[in-house]
Amino acid sequence: MKLFRHGAAGMERPGILDAAGVKRDLSAHLPVLDGAALSPASLARLAAIDLASLPVVADDVRIGAPVPRPINFICIGLNYADHAAETGAAIPKEPIVFIKAGSAYNGPFDDVMIPPGSKETDWEVELGVVIGTAASYVSEDDALDHVAGYCVINDVSEREYQTRRGGTWDKGKGCATFGPTGPYLVTRDEVPDPQALDIWCEIDGKRMQNGNTKTMIFGVKTLVSYVSQFIALMPGDIIATGTPPGVGMGVKPNPIFLRPGQTMKLGVAGLGEQMQRTIGG
């Protein structure tokens, strides 16, 4: 299934994509597409609905992030060896884990605001993992049983804030609008191998990132298990699994960064595409 939420920000209603790619409204069967709706029993119930009987969602209706703001919006840093190399960083021996502020959470087609005075706002396309059942201290063998599905994430980052303003990476990752997510939550049964997905990002029509999740240093089941040793993962939580090479800070000899009036377009195979316009703060 491809689940989504539609409507004005803060008033989104559940939706589902039918076999013909038509957006349908699910709200008669599901009031809120939240963590409780992502349990195996709930997803099985949704899968049994006759989608042709559901109202059509107009194409001009806003698409929001696929689940409400998660309790934990977790990111993994430097999880592609070639991305680590382009940034000059060593390949990590264990996953680098940081928290992206909940206030960064944003719809997949909403504007991204470059912070006032920022000179180094950057893009990062990532595979997102959406938790379906609570996960604490789970093994790698059991990790995927706790996954409801997958989504596209743009882990927008301000590099000066991230690397040269002291403290942790969170300063450069948590600015308002810095977490576009969606458009769909694609359930796990439609993604038989999360380590075989093409992943890409274009800036103003130019392909900047072009990778595949097979080159992750730490795969999805490893990440879910690892994070669950330190953070109690709750239904609806999201893990952004890292970005392939091609970010602006990695451009040689002179890095390039976002400015107001540009367009970011990004996607992951089978999970849909996002597009954002950058605006000044």
Q: Any idea what DSSP says for residue 122?
A: E
d(CA 107, CA 88): 31
Give the mean pLDDT per block of 10 residues along the chain (281 residues): 98 97 97 96 97 97 98 96 82 95 97 96 98 98 98 97 85 96 98 98 98 97 98 98 96 96 98 98 86
DSSP secondary structure of 187-213: EGGG-S-TTS-EEEEEETTEEEEEEEG
Taking residue 19's Cβ as centre, other Cβ atoms within 10 Å add up to 7
Q: Tell me the three state secondary structure of residue 91.
A: coil
Q: What is the pLDDT of residue 152?
A: 98
Q: What is the pLDDT of residue 167?
A: 75
For residue range 245-276, list pLDDT tens digits in order. 999 999 999 999 999 999 999 999 999 999 99
Which amino acid is present at 248? G
Q: What is the pLDDT of residue 169?
A: 86
Radius of gyration of the chain (CA): 18
Residue from 65, 111, 151 nearest 279 by CA: 111
Residue from 152, 154, 157 nearest 175 by CA: 157
DSSP secondary structure of 142-173: HHGGGEEEEEEEE--EEHHHHHHSSS-THHHH
Q: What is the pLDDT of residue 128?
A: 98
Residue from 180, 159, 190 nearest 277 by CA: 180
Q: What is the pLDDT of residue 170?
A: 85
Which amino acid is present at 136? S
Q: What is the pLDDT of residue 84?
A: 80
Q: From residue 157, how far is each of 17, 95, 112, 278 by CA, in Å? A: 31, 18, 11, 13
